[in-house]
Amino acid sequence: MEKEVTIYDIAKRLNYSPATVSRALNDHPAIKLDTKDLITSMAREMGYRSNTFASNLRRQRTNTIGVIVPRLNSSFVSSVLAGMEKVANEAGYNLIISQSLESVTKEKANTQTMFNSRVDGLLVSVAYDTEDIEHFTAFTNKGIPLLFFDRVIGNDQFTSIVIDNAKAGYEATAHLLKLGRRRVMHITGNLKRNVYADRLKGYKQALAEYGIPFDERLVQVTDLSQEVGVEVARQITRMPIRPDGLFVTNDLCAVSCMTTLKQTGLSIPDDVAVVGFNNDPVSQVVNPALTTIHYPGREMGEIAAKSLINHLNGLMDIQATNTIILRSELIIRGSSQK
């Protein structure tokens, strides 16, 4: 293996001190311009690579940010990560990304790995079964900033970035009720998580406002997979009194359900009006196109990364803010209204 070129090799070749070479390569104002040019030219010729990692460690900074998400195979998560990547790259930071696969055990392992990798800060969207914050205490004890997004821990100690999920759940359900639907089924995720608990809260609020009694038999807690969408559709066809409206808190599951309902001979939206959540690309390619809640994933990623980096650079204090709430929007398409 070829030996890595160091500043000592360059200094020996040019008969300069290593300190002079180091200053020249770091554009120090005390070094003359012609000396800088000579040293940088020789460094390039010798194939010198700056050891940014070692340099940053000396400054107690690695210029890396850790990101932990539940799953990478999600259009929403992809858009969040794209926003984070954009901001991080512009600010000279790198991202280390890992997925918990909806397991708190894996999330704990990821958190330890991030800590051992000396990330400057951590951005987290928690797994389905995360209930406490004990595995994040190593970060708080060391004063390493931690910011939660989308799926968050209800704790004033941390800053969170979310949408108003209760409001979004209310708008999705109220839209169906305004159209005259009176038996609206709700398919949601693990209610330990703020996003699903709050959307259910909005669903109940809309029912109450329209004078519709809440029926727990019309609420199903699932993993919101495509397979669940198929199974829910089959259940609907077997019900003695079918729902005439369906609010699913995930577009992929909603599309899967809608497609299966059509295959059984039901008409969308005549027999069952459907509303999804996230505004994933799949919501626009299905026929009819899916009414959904637009979740500003890219914007969430940008704001999360920008807030953390500004905190690291001393431009803001994220600990002074408990929650940043972004706007969502109901997008009405053919699956609910012709």
Domain co-membership, 94 together with 175: no
pLDDT of residue 52: 55
**pLDDT tens for the 338 residues of the chain, in order:** 457 788 889 999 999 998 888 888 887 888 889 999 999 899 888 888 766 555 554 556 788 999 999 999 889 999 999 999 999 999 999 999 999 999 999 999 999 999 988 899 999 999 988 988 889 988 888 888 999 999 998 777 789 999 999 999 999 999 999 999 999 999 999 999 999 999 999 999 999 999 999 999 999 999 999 999 999 999 999 999 999 999 999 999 999 999 999 999 999 999 999 999 999 999 999 999 999 999 999 999 999 999 999 998 888 888 777 899 999 999 999 999 97
Domain co-membership, 227 together with 310: no
Residue 231 lies in a domain: yes
pLDDT of residue 297: 95
Length of the chain: 338
Domain co-membership, 87 together with 153: yes
pLDDT of residue 140: 87
pLDDT of residue 282: 95
Domain co-membership, 159 together with 307: yes
The CATH number of residue 268's host domain is 3.40.50.2300
Is pTM beyond 0.95? Reply is no
Residue 321 lies in a domain: yes
Q: How would DSSP label each residue in 233-295?
A: HHHHHH-SS--SEEEESSHHHHHHHHHHHHHTT--TTTT-EEE-SB--THHHHSSSPPBEEE-
Domain co-membership, 278 together with 314: no
Residue 309 lies in a domain: yes
Residue 333 lies in a domain: no
Residue 331 lies in a domain: no
Residue 58 lies in a domain: no
The CATH number of residue 36's host domain is 1.10.260.40
Helix (H, G, I), strand (E, B) or coil at 311: helix
Domain co-membership, 179 together with 236: yes
Domain co-membership, 189 together with 244: yes
Nearest Cα to Cα of residue 328 among 285, 288, 299: 299
Q: Which two tokens stand for residue 259?
A: 């497609």
pLDDT of residue 3: 72
Domain co-membership, 84 together with 139: yes
pLDDT of residue 123: 97
Domain co-membership, 169 together with 289: yes
Give me the number of domains the chain comprises.
3
Domain co-membership, 18 together with 77: no
Give dist(CA 11, CA 221) in Å, integer: 67
Residue 28 lies in a domain: yes
Nearest Cα to Cα of residue 77 among 311, 304, 327: 304
Q: Supply the range of the domain harboring residue 11.
A: 7-50
Domain co-membership, 169 together with 20: no
Residue 284 lies in a domain: yes
Give dist(CA 2, CA 235) in Å, integer: 65
Domain co-membership, 243 together with 181: yes
